[in-house]
Amino acid sequence: MKQRWLGMDIGGTSTRLQLMEDGQHWCGFRKIATASWAQQTDALHALGDVIIDTLASQAISGVMLGLPGILSRDRQQVISLPFIQALDGQPVAAQLSKRLGVPVAMDKDVNHLMLWDLLQLDALPDNAVGLYPGTGLGNSLWLEGRFYHGHHGGAGELGHIP
């Protein structure tokens, strides 16, 4: 039986949801305005509604969120999302996992972008820095063959200007 995962790129402007089956077979895509759920009274519950609506009863093995801001070092809690402040201080991964009944992981959105870019190379470098413009300017640090999050999870953050 094929396994499916849901990957989400949550940006300040748009939220993209991509279903993937084994072997990186892309099998579904949806793009919505982030404000459509982030400006609701309970943004975390509204985000769960978006996921449930997107899946339309399809079984998945897990969810991976890419978020535009600072996450706790263990990447379980949002510290600061300047464009989606309603999620600040919330244990997003644990709450969504409880509601959806599958593992939910999260990392900085730019780490997902940079990993994709690094995997296009013939060999992974030991060190790299990625800068990605979007609604803000995201950055990613790849040090000694892995992403560097720093002591508190915000290593390399340049800041956000609304």
In tens, the pLDDT along 2-57 reads: 889 999 999 889 999 999 998 778 888 999 999 999 999 999 999 999 999 999 87
DSSP secondary structure letter of residue 12: S
- Give the percent of the chain with pLDDT over 90: 57
Which residue range(s) make up the domain with 103?
4-109
Q: 72 and 127 share a domain?
A: no
What six digits make up the tokens of 130?
């990625």
Within a domain: residue 152?
Answer: no
**Does residue 19 sit in the same domain as residue 59?**
yes
pLDDT tens digits for 78-98? 999 888 999 999 999 999 999
Query: CA 5 → CA 13, 14, 32, 43, distances in Å?
Result: 23, 20, 19, 22
Q: Which CATH number belongs to the domain containing residue 60 in this structure?
A: 3.30.420.40
Q: Whose CA is closest to 100, among 54, 36, 37, 38?
A: 54
